Amino acid sequence: MKGFIFDLDGVICSTDEYHYEAWKVLAKKLGVSFSRMDNNRQRGVSRMESLEVLLEKSEKLFTEDEKVTLADYKNKIYQSLLNNMGEKDLSYEVKDTLDRLREKGYKLAIGSSSRNAKIILEKIGLDNYFDAVSDGNNITKSKPDPEVFIKAAEYMNIPCEQCYVVEDAKSGVEAAIAGGFKTIAVGDAIKYKIAEYNLNSFQELLKIV
Ligand code: BG6
Ligand code: MG
């Protein structure tokens, strides 16, 4: 194995919680219920697909233009939460594990559905750290389609089957399986038991390699 492709939100840092907070504000404004379970279904999928999950509970129907306005509203709230982030939001455990994988000779990439990935990487001090970043800005289909990971592998010049994908989203593990990657689940994704490895902590990656 030559490379690692990491999801960002909920794997490298806890921005998944900020997504949850921001969607909750929108749900309240629309008067629809919104739970952790709903939020777990938003993991890995694009902003507009995440909005559709939230709108399933709404009796009102929205036009495409109105949906774009709602998604923009959520993104503004989300970005204001990101503003408070800094290097403190990258844990020692994650940074140390990444450094050790690199020392072992692995190439490291990001494979994220987010269009905010670059802002987040800057905030936590990891801009220019990864060998490649594939995110919501360079894909046409989001997870569970494997496109984002295939692009990341291409950017690193490594065949998909020689890369591990690390994911906290069910859709992300499904995407990695579809793309022929070796799959590693952390966080919410471990309960589905569909990945090859299901880890209780990020540093357990070092036990695999
Ligand atoms: C993924 C999150 O990383 O990015 C999803 O898991 C989110 O929940 C998606 O919808 C898109 O994020 P953004 O930052 O482009 O709105
Ligand atoms: Mg994630």
**Closest Cα to atom 4 of ligand 1:** 114
pLDDT level of residue 198 (50, 70, 90 thresholds): very high
pLDDT 10s digits, 14-65: 999 999 999 999 999 999 999 999 999 999 999 999 999 999 999 999 999 9
Q: Is the CB of 113 under 6 A from ligand 1?
A: yes
Ligand 1 centroid to residue 159 C-alpha, Å: 26
Torsion of CA 36, 32, 13, 79, to 10 degrees: -170
Q: Is the CB of 39 under 6 A from ligand 1?
A: no
Any known ligand binding at 113? Answer: yes
**Which domains can be identified in the chain, with CATH numbers?**
3-13+88-208 (3.40.50.1000), 16-84 (1.10.150.240)
- Is the overall model pTM greater than 0.75, yes or no? yes
11 phi and psi, to 5 degrees?
A: -120, -60
8 Å CB contact between 205 and 166? yes
For residue 93, CA distances in Å to 57, 129, 147 come to: 38, 16, 29
166: left (phi over 0), alpha (psi -120 to 50) or beta: beta
**∠ at Cα 208 (11, 41), nearest 5°?**
30
| Cα–Cα distance measured from residue 75 to residue 132, given in angstroms and rounded to the nearest whole number | 25
Give the pLDDT confidence score for residue 176 in this predicted structure: 99
Q: Is the CB of 40 under 6 A from ligand 1?
A: no
Which has the closest alpha carbon to 53: 24, 14, 16?
24
Q: Is the CB of 115 under 6 A from ligand 1?
A: yes
pLDDT 10s digits, 136-169: 999 999 999 999 999 999 999 999 999 999 999 9
Catalytic residue positions, numbered: 7, 9
Ligand 1 centroid to residue 104 C-alpha, Å: 30
Ligand 1 centroid to residue 127 C-alpha, Å: 18
